[in-house]
Structure 1
Amino acid sequence: MVAATKEFTPGEYASFPTGIDSLRLETFSLARLENGDEALEEKLFETCKTRGFFYLDMRDSQHSSLVEIGEAVVRIGEEVFKLPLEEKQKYTGGLMPFFNIAKDGIIVDNVAPPGARSWPAPVQAGQPVIERFAKESHSCGMVVLAALGRRLGLPSGTFEALHRIREPSTDSVRVSRGPPNQTAEGPMIFTPGHTDATSITLLWNWVGGLQIWTEPDRGLNDFKTVIDPIDQGRWVWVEPPPPGHIIINLGDAAVQYSGGLLCSARHRVLPPPGEQGRRPRYSLVYFVRPEDAAVLKRLEAPGIPAGRFEDDAVAMTFKDYVTQHGASFLRRKVAA
């Protein structure tokens, strides 16, 4: 019997092309953040005030195994994408090149909403791996948020109290598969321009495809249906992270909690440039979000500016916000 061809093959992809409008992000060591390196925290804080995207070096950290665990989760996702269309439609509706696994469904001792544990067979078989991935990703995200909280002057544990893993939230694991380029014309947009409805997003990717808008976003998503921003700026490619690294970006909740001091970059996903675009693009995301009942509002701290969002404060829980954000995303996806 001939073994099935593997689409996801880390370490075997063509090189990211040179000579294109691309960006290498700042790099931060998770191990040093875990050890409370104040100088690195301050540099991270400045980066998150100006862009909100960076590489996180996982090597030598307490979460160094997350890189390999992420690869294992993507391999589970690859098996899901290989299922017959009628089977996949039970879980994705056949609308998107990705599927989500809710944190509250994958962690077995959490209270899961009805239907949250209705999974395709590969996910059922891989549940322990995905559960470990969700727990460690959430913990990793909290290390970064806690470092930013200290720079903002927030009382210790403030961000942790808004993101308790045992409380209901819309945290989720997402595995994506973008098809290879069929033509050199155009770009085919996998995911239109948006900011994330998260506090912080952890991204595993091995090839190009991610683009960010050069002008950062300091306000909450306004649910407009436009695909691209209309203010000054341009789309630039983000170079894939080096081995042992992942990409981190801040989301809308971090902007709101910090009174607009922190930034969330608008981004989108296209087929990878150059030879990398000849193969399917797999990526993996963990969305760290506030608890469902958390209210989006500016937090009080010495380092958080007063008044920035006082007139347009969002009087909604995060669960309501993420629902509206999702509806806006679907409208933009259809328009693209």
Structure 2
Amino acid sequence: MGAPNEVPETVQWNGKQVPVYPMETVDFSKIICQEPEEVEKAVRICQTQGYFYIDLSGIDGRRLLEDQEKTLQLMHRFFEAPIEEKNQYGLVSPHLGYEPIASRTGVLEGTKDGYEMIKVARDEIQRDSPHIPDVIKNSGDIKVLENAIAGSNVVTKAILSALSTGLGLTGASRFECSHRNEKPSTTTLAMMHYIPSDPTKDKKIGHQKHTDISSLTLLFSHEWGMQIRPPGAREFGFVKPKRGCAIVNVGDSLRFASGHTMQSCIHRVVPYDYAQHRYSIAYFLRAEDTTMFTDPAGRYVTAGQWHDEKFFAFTTDAELQKQAPAHMILGGMHEPEAEEEGVEVIAAPAPAQSIAVA
């Protein structure tokens, strides 16, 4: 779990010391060039861990970091607007539109989620008049969203291409060949605002544990709150935001496309600093809707079918979720016997600034 031979540091959270898991870093500039050592490193990480930092601080990735800052400014303006303006169209489709707070199951037993989200699909942003709320529909906003999606698309496809090369894939079997822009998919940019919450009294908290439907997820956030459970680990632990980097994690579709040899990252979001608003930007690169693969139950399904089934399981109420196949929410990833995941808080967590963000 994490970088080889590293012992995780810990932080006090929920009355106990929990890990801050180490994470390896892949250099985007080297991935673009498909430098053999970096390609081999990326393949190894995806097969053993399923998550890593992608360093975008070089000339090849710096523009994307700037695009994400502009997206963050747009998000603040959107989420501060009246609910009627944010919810102009509601959730147009699972990968397009606005989801208000408490639309899903929360991270704790008996709670709802503690975030609101606006999603803009890659297919939609390519249209002449994208279907998004008027509060972020002026020409400048659309250009910001277009640039954020385009940049994220380039980064994630470059990673897919490197993984294909590292695995010796050729022709149509290369991963990136099932992620073409002109073919329908549920690829989307999700912009999320997590509200301050206190697990001792609030009923709208965090983001439940899951694996992503995507092939690859590219995640940007300056604030703490994301927790992962590395393969074989018995407990969740935090990951640090890292300056100049985004977090990449393997999702279900790439795990399936790799013959279940890659590790899909189990993760969740919890309140670290109870008084803090948290903002994150996630780009979910997903396979074309008609792409076929074998799911954990041995079914031969399309990417579109897997997306729809998992989205329904993920957004339904807790009781119905318990009736869903065990492999659905976690994409077939195995969980060892876990330490207690209850979140009864004995002591307030350490303040977020207690561990410096690199």
TM-score by length of 1: 0.77
Alpha-carbon distance in structure 2 between the residues aligned to 1:170 and 1:182: 33
Alignment match, 1:321: 306
Gaps of 5+ in 1: 1-15, 217-231, 299-308
Alpha-carbon distance in structure 1 between the residues aligned to 2:199 and 2:37: 47
Counterparts of residues 1-336 of structure 1 (less than 5 Å): 20-90=18-88, 91=90, 92=98, 94=100, 95=103, 97-108=116-127, 117-125=131-139, 126-155=141-170, 158-182=174-198, 189-215=205-231, 233-240=234-241, 242-271=242-271, 273=272, 276-297=273-294, 312-331=297-316
Gaps of 5+ in 2: 1-9, 91-97, 104-114, 323-358
Alpha-carbon distance in structure 1 between the residues aligned to 2:213 and 2:118: 17
What amino acid sits opposite 1:252 in the alignment?
D
Alpha-carbon distance in structure 1 between the residues aligned to 2:237 and 2:99: 32
More strand by share: 2
Alpha-carbon distance in structure 2 between the residues aligned to 1:83 and 1:333: 30
What amino acid sits opposite 1:249 in the alignment?
N
Q: SS at the partner of 1:150?
A: helix
Q: SS at the partner of 2:300?
A: coil
Identity percentage of aligned residues? 26
What amino acid sits opposite 1:285 in the alignment?
A
Q: Residue 52 and residue 97 in structure 1: after superposition, are their counterparts in 2 closer, same or farther (change >3 A)?
A: same
Q: CA deviation at 1:21?
A: 1.8
Q: SS at the partner of 2:291?
A: coil
Q: SS at the partner of 1:97?
A: strand
TM-score by length of 2: 0.73
Alpha-carbon distance in structure 2 between the residues aligned to 1:23 and 1:332: 31
Q: CA deviation at 1:134?
A: 0.8
Q: SS at the partner of 1:146?
A: helix
Alpha-carbon distance in structure 1 between the residues aligned to 2:54 and 2:48: 17
Q: CA deviation at 1:63?
A: 2.8
Q: CA deviation at 1:66?
A: 0.6
Q: Residue 201 and residue 332 in structure 1: after superposition, are their counterparts in 2 closer, same or farther (change >3 A)?
A: farther
Task: Tell me whether 75-84 or 49-58 shows the greater mean CA deviation.
Answer: 75-84
Alpha-carbon distance in structure 1 between the residues aligned to 2:134 and 2:175: 34
- Could you list the per-position Cα deviations for residues 225-273 of structure 1 after superposition, in whole angstroms to 9, with x for gaps in the alignment? xxxxxxx721111111x211000001001111111111111110112x2
Q: Residue 70 and residue 156 in structure 1: after superposition, are their counterparts in 2 closer, same or farther (change >3 A)?
A: farther
Alpha-carbon distance in structure 1 between the residues aligned to 2:40 and 2:79: 42
What amino acid sits opposite 2:136 in the alignment?
P
Q: CA deviation at 1:118?
A: 3.7
Alpha-carbon distance in structure 2 between the residues aligned to 1:234 and 1:317: 32
Q: Residue 185 and residue 26 in structure 1: after superposition, are their counterparts in 2 closer, same or farther (change >3 A)?
A: farther
Higher relative contact order (CA 8 A, sep 6+): 1
Q: SS at the partner of 2:136?
A: helix
Alpha-carbon distance in structure 1 between the residues aligned to 2:198 and 2:33: 47
Task: Tell me whether 90-99 or 128-137 shows the greater mean CA deviation.
Answer: 90-99
The aligned length equals 285
What amino acid sits opposite 1:236 in the alignment?
G
Is the contact between residue 197 and residue 205 of structure 2 (CA under 8 Å) also seen in structure 1?
no
